[in-house]
Structure 1
Amino acid sequence: MTTGTTDNSSKDQHHHLPHLHPNIIKDSSAGGAGIIAGELAAEDEGLISNAQLKSHSYGAIQASSSEDTISSADDNGGYALPKRQLFTVISSLFMAAYLAALDMTVVTTLLTLIASDLKSISNISWIATAYLLSCSAFQPLFGKLSDIFGRKNLLMLCCAFFAVGCMICVTDSLFWLVIGRFVTGIGGSGLTSLGTITMSDLIPLRDRGFYQGLANVFFGLGSASGGMVGGLIADYFGWKYVFILQVPLAVVLGVSLYLNLNLPEGSPGLGAHGVDIRQKLKRVDFLGSFCLVSSLMLILTAASLGGKDIPYSSNTFIALVSTSFFLLGAFGYVEAYVSEEPIIPIHLLANRTILASSLTNWFYTMGIFTYLFYIPVYYTSVMQFTATQNGLRLVPNFFGVSIGSIGAGIYMRSTGKYYNFTIAVGILSVIGVIRILCISPEIPTWEQFVLLLPSGLGYSSMLTVTLLSLIAAVPAKYQACTTSIQYTFRSTGSTLGVAIASAIFQNLLRSNLYTKIYALVPDKDEAAEIIAQALANTNYSNHAPTALIKQAIIDSYANGCRGAFWFSVITVIVGFATSLFMREHKLHTSINRD
């Protein structure tokens, strides 16, 4: 089904493939280990062959196959474009990564200011949540859509969404600000995932890791500088200019890509050939897309607001989680049995490397984002650091992430290998999070600054390695799909990880406070007031009535953070274990995978 019409023989061949994935997914007795064991058995018995994998029609262009060649690759040293044009496009994609990451964090320092200006303090969380929700929920769609409509067209659309969303944010209405952030998130998610997908159309796998490492650095720069940039612009011009000034950047980015992203004949990024827009629209899996996006929106909303705006025991929270799982199951059924061109072909998860890489990404991201969230809480509540002292101790982590991202790319470019490297950085990550678990108020100052370096270096290396392993494990026509799979696991992992860790932290903090404060304060009403203040303000210990109560609050926060750190250690260890199931695949030196 690589064109608007379907070849009967290929369709018959597809329908006679062994449908292992529904049985694997529905095997409730197996759990995660069963999924891996089932896949290994399928591979060992030859039930899922490379020929069958390649025969499935996910590709975008007519007669797409692993034997197709890109017309200009040999003339450009294995790359898809001449060097000058390639440099311009890659630079634009790096800027897209920076802009999307910056917009994630640019409002973090402005939430109180904006909410106060709009007189909506009670709904402050939606200003930040709206962008993250749409960014995570829509990210999985862009791989398949770009295979149908072409990378350039989708990138132009995402630039338009980003610019329009920022313009909507220039408002005096909280409702329209939230809508604007949601629209901007759709554009930002596409810029991130499509940038990664498009680089795979341009760069050989052997060099792909190095460029991905650079892209990760730009993404990290955007995330790290968002708060500072937002604060400076708001101080000098007002918070609305934070959004106004992003509009021309999105326009310039779109124009640059429009003029320079001219993929050569044979590239999977060109989209479907020889069909009009109506035929392309018929190929879009609207039902599967609706189920997936709705499921992710609901579960991410529950994860973001659960325990804070929505109690875990409330009917609203239970309904959100139940409906999201129902829609996720419906998505699996639609992709497996209904859709002829699934938005994310579930059968690819029967590939050992794809499944292992995806789970590695998922668990690592859960663990890393947990400690990134709770290390500052520990520094503030237990070690009594100011915001400036806290921020300075997080700066070295950026250098660890940069070294890991680029170092992984250099290693893979020079050796063409990644499996042993994955094991090495995995061990480094595990050691790093165990050291975080052992943190105490007596930790030396120098160690405070380097505490996050080992795990940050290991995590950033893992991101680069798992992306390359996913792409290398399948024919070129699947590279957009597998990239979408990685971003889906990564975005849901970060949100769910912080949500689960938050539940652990809150429960431990509350139980510790109740035990310790009621033992120290005979008056129950006074004790209840102290507990309420301590739960609401991490710095309340500085205003505690006595030294004993202050220490009890500090110890309670320390135990709460330690529970979150235990969750981080467990998830990173599980992520390391799943990475061992990846296989070494060839990293080609040309876009044409010969």
Structure 2
Amino acid sequence: MTQSKNQTSKLQDSLPHHHELHPNIIKDSSAGGAGIIAAELAAEEEGLISNAQLKSHSYGAIAKSSSEETTTTEIDDHDGYALPKAQLLTVISSLFMASYLAALDMTVVTTLLTLIASDLKEVSNISWIATAYLLSCAAFQPLFGKLSDIFGRKILLILCSGFFAIGCVICVTDSLFWLVIGRFVTGIGGSGLTALGTITMSDLIPLRDRGFYQGLANVFFGLGSASGGMIGGLIADSLGWKYVFILQVPLALIVGISLYLNLNLPEGSPGLGAHGVDIKQKLKRVDFLGSFFLVSSLMLILTAASLGGKEIPYNSKTFIGLTSSSFILLALFVYAESYISEEPIIPIHLLGNRTILASSLANWFYTMGVFTYLFYIPVYYTAVMQFSATQNGLRLVPNFFGVSLGSVGAGLYMRKTGKYYNFTVIVGLISVLGVIRILCITPQIPLWEQFVLLLPSGIGYSSILTVTLLSLIAAVPSKYQACTTSIQYTFRSTGSTLGVAIASAIFQNVLRSNLYVKIYELVADKQEANEIIAKALENADYAKSAPKLIKNAIIGSYSAGCKGAFWFSVLAIVLGYTSSLFMREHKLHTSINRD
């Protein structure tokens, strides 16, 4: 006991006078991160690092007044990477395939919803086919960070590949119930492949190069999203819709087998999980209480957001019950993580770090805004400008190239400079100006501008996704990188669903109120007017076949509804941009060893 106190005293004496702990105090070659983990554990054990110090965002922060970057770089046997080049490329390619597959599955079914529901004679329940995947994907994604810290990335990636494959097999059915179950299981696997792929790349690649590889991962995810509809349609037309699920099974198994054979992280890597303990001890470390509260809360609020205003009226007891219950469960989750759980699934105190909170909110608001205009630009083109589905789709294609350019460009910039704050300010401004231009759209917009309309905001958003991920990881010690990645995915997945839900409520209310005012002015017979309004609300294409007298009124109402949604998009992206300005510049290390 005396010896321990003496050691503590000596360690405290070695601290700088302003009491900030430097991570290189203890050099332990057996610990991940060349001593940084051992230093943090020892310091926390002796009470030398407090939550307040972590919240003070001093870890790795670069002072704004400093014009030079620290050039100390630790190079290991693989040029700063965790694996030999050939093995690294195989693992990264597998993770890219996993990202592509998860995105593909998310959009491939959307194109086939009507076909599948009609074949199963369940058109009235069509929304559950899409909602089941999105619910499980968003609800379970936050869990994978901490779970992989306990059990290891490799085993969880293999399990998620298995879940994805099993879910697709279950979907080959003639029962709506089993199809929904299959989509739910597939969503668990898909969310894990996406989140764990991002986390695992942080175990393999130095932060300085991390943005470039994340940019490539975003390209593959975007490619999966963009090609899903086309691939789904081709397979369904030639082989039948069930083969859309059947053909994904071998791809998921290939990903799992490839990772099993090649993802061999070096000794001491945080991606290996807890060492020297059996499965029972690992299970005891799982925060089951917090996980239950978090998953339940997200499931309820996302169900309300997805079905509210459609299957569930906003003023119904069901909707009110879902939302109020979700907030109660969320409060219980925060309490459990703060005061009960020994190893919280998401450490709430991390949100006290300015960079983490700012990055998370930026993700949340940007995603709300971007998903809103991506959803309602096609509605504007269809209902207001009278475009066909093909014309509509062609105008959305350039957005993929903008997303790709932004993602990879952000990674290359950070690789070259090692910084990101000034870049964030510039691309965020581009994104804000881009969404303002979307708000100002009119039917007279030139043809060339129709094709490039989404490019500025798409470039800005994809850049922000890459930058905020790196800022989150760089803002904390390496042992928290999985948790912070989970935090980002939580904010992103809930942001997309809530954003579209809020925008939908705005759109529907503005559209309905405008239709009632304009149609009642033009049609004297109230019953006939109500029938016209009902048809206009049900079908955005109705204006094409509507009588000439009321055609402009319907088009004008849809234009007003879309503009209402675009105003929300502008507000959300401005809030996201404002949030990003509160991030701090942190060092992007050139080696996996971040000391």
| TM-score when normalising by structure 2 | 0.89
Pair 1:567-2:594 in alignment:
no
**Which residue does the alignment assign to 2:352?**
350
**Which residue does the alignment assign to 1:418?**
420
Is 2:55–2:352's contact at 8 Å kept on the other side of the alignment?
no
What is the one-letter code of the residue matched to 1:294?
Answer: S
1:8 deviates by 11
**Which residue does the alignment assign to 1:151?**
153
What is the one-letter code of the residue matched to 2:574?
Answer: I
> C-alpha offsets along residues 513-559 of structure 1, whole Å, 9 cap, x if unaligned?
000000110000000000000000001112222x2310000000000
Is 2:203–2:269's contact at 8 Å kept on the other side of the alignment?
yes
Aligned residues: 546
> C-alpha offsets along residues 281-313 of structure 1, whole Å, 9 cap, x if unaligned?
000000000000000000000000000000000
Is 2:171–2:182's contact at 8 Å kept on the other side of the alignment?
yes
**Which residue does the alignment assign to 1:239?**
241
1:9 deviates by 9.4
> C-alpha offsets along residues 366-416 of structure 1, whole Å, 9 cap, x if unaligned?
000000000000000000000000000000000000000000000000000
In structure 2, distance between residues paired with 1:372 and 1:409: 24
**Which residue does the alignment assign to 1:311?**
313
Pair 1:125-2:127 in alignment:
yes
Match of 2:524, SS state, is coil
- Of 162, 165, 169 in structure 2, the residue corresponding to residue 167 of structure 1 is 169
Pair 1:462-2:459 in alignment:
no
1:47 deviates by 7.7
In structure 2, distance between residues paired with 1:507 and 1:150: 48
What is the one-letter code of the residue matched to 1:556?
Answer: S
Match of 1:109, SS state, is helix
**Which residue does the alignment assign to 2:64?**
none
Percent of aligned pairs with the same amino acid: 80
1:247 deviates by 0.6
> C-alpha offsets along residues 129-170 of structure 1, whole Å, 9 cap, x if unaligned?
100100000000000000000000000110010000000000
- Mapping 1:58-457, distance limit 5 Å: 74-457=76-459
Match of 1:74, SS state, is coil
In structure 1, distance between residues paired with 2:471 and 2:206: 13
1:13 deviates by 3.7
CA 1:559–1:267: 2 relative to 1, 3 Å: same
In structure 1, distance between residues paired with 2:451 and 2:57: 50
In structure 2, distance between residues paired with 1:269 and 1:379: 47
**Structure 1 stretches lacking a partner, 5+ long:** 19-41, 54-68
In structure 2, distance between residues paired with 1:81 and 1:47: 33
1:263 deviates by 0.1
In structure 2, distance between residues paired with 1:382 and 1:563: 14
In structure 2, distance between residues paired with 1:166 and 1:262: 28
1:87 deviates by 0.3
CA 1:353–1:9: 2 relative to 1, 3 Å: closer
In structure 2, distance between residues paired with 1:465 and 1:531: 46
> C-alpha offsets along residues 322-349 of structure 1, whole Å, 9 cap, x if unaligned?
0000000000000000000000000000
1:182 deviates by 0.1
**Which residue does the alignment assign to 1:555?**
556
In structure 2, distance between residues paired with 1:484 and 1:331: 16
> C-alpha offsets along residues 76-115 of structure 1, whole Å, 9 cap, x if unaligned?
0000000000000000000000000000001111111111
CA 1:8–1:576: 2 relative to 1, 3 Å: closer
1:451 deviates by 0.2
> C-alpha offsets along residues 237-268 of structure 1, whole Å, 9 cap, x if unaligned?
11101001111111111000000000001110
What is the one-letter code of the residue matched to 1:241?
Answer: Y
In structure 1, distance between residues paired with 2:239 and 2:57: 60
CA 1:205–1:9: 2 relative to 1, 3 Å: closer
> C-alpha offsets along residues 443-502 of structure 1, whole Å, 9 cap, x if unaligned?
000000000000000000000000000000001111000000000000000000000000
**Which residue does the alignment assign to 2:583?**
582
In structure 1, distance between residues paired with 2:57 and 2:436: 40
In structure 2, distance between residues paired with 1:9 and 1:323: 40
What is the one-letter code of the residue matched to 2:560?
Answer: N
In structure 2, distance between residues paired with 1:539 and 1:116: 21
In structure 2, distance between residues paired with 1:392 and 1:228: 12
- Mapping 1:17-96, distance limit 5 Å: 17=50, 48=56, 74-96=76-98
In structure 2, distance between residues paired with 1:106 and 1:234: 10
1:11 deviates by 6.0
Match of 1:110, SS state, is helix
1:12 deviates by 7.8
Is 2:57–2:353's contact at 8 Å kept on the other side of the alignment?
no
- Mapping 1:527-546, distance limit 5 Å: 527-545=529-547
What is the one-letter code of the residue matched to 2:479?
Answer: K
CA 1:516–1:410: 2 relative to 1, 3 Å: same
In structure 2, distance between residues paired with 1:10 and 1:427: 40
Query: RMSD of aligned C-alpha atoms?
Result: 2.0
In structure 2, distance between residues paired with 1:116 and 1:180: 18
CA 1:325–1:536: 2 relative to 1, 3 Å: same
In structure 2, distance between residues paired with 1:548 and 1:177: 45
In structure 1, distance between residues paired with 2:575 and 2:57: 28
What is the one-letter code of the residue matched to 1:285?
Answer: D
What is the one-letter code of the residue matched to 1:566?
Answer: W
In structure 2, distance between residues paired with 1:447 and 1:83: 43
Is 2:474–2:588's contact at 8 Å kept on the other side of the alignment?
yes
Is 2:110–2:130's contact at 8 Å kept on the other side of the alignment?
yes
1:49 deviates by 7.5
Is 2:57–2:475's contact at 8 Å kept on the other side of the alignment?
no
In structure 1, distance between residues paired with 2:460 and 2:162: 35
What is the one-letter code of the residue matched to 1:588?
Answer: H
What is the one-letter code of the residue matched to 2:210?
Answer: R
In structure 1, distance between residues paired with 2:496 and 2:118: 29
Match of 1:238, SS state, is coil
In structure 2, distance between residues paired with 1:247 and 1:12: 50
Match of 1:75, SS state, is coil
CA 1:550–1:84: 2 relative to 1, 3 Å: same
Instruction: Return 174-183 or 101-110, whichever deviates more.
Output: 101-110
1:593 deviates by 1.0
In structure 1, distance between residues paired with 2:535 and 2:557: 13
1:418 deviates by 0.2
In structure 2, distance between residues paired with 1:10 and 1:357: 26
| TM-score when normalising by structure 1 | 0.90
In structure 2, distance between residues paired with 1:8 and 1:405: 38
Match of 2:109, SS state, is coil
Instruction: Return 106-115 or 192-201, whichever deviates more.
Output: 106-115
In structure 1, distance between residues paired with 2:524 and 2:238: 51
> C-alpha offsets along residues 268-290 of structure 1, whole Å, 9 cap, x if unaligned?
00000000000000000000000
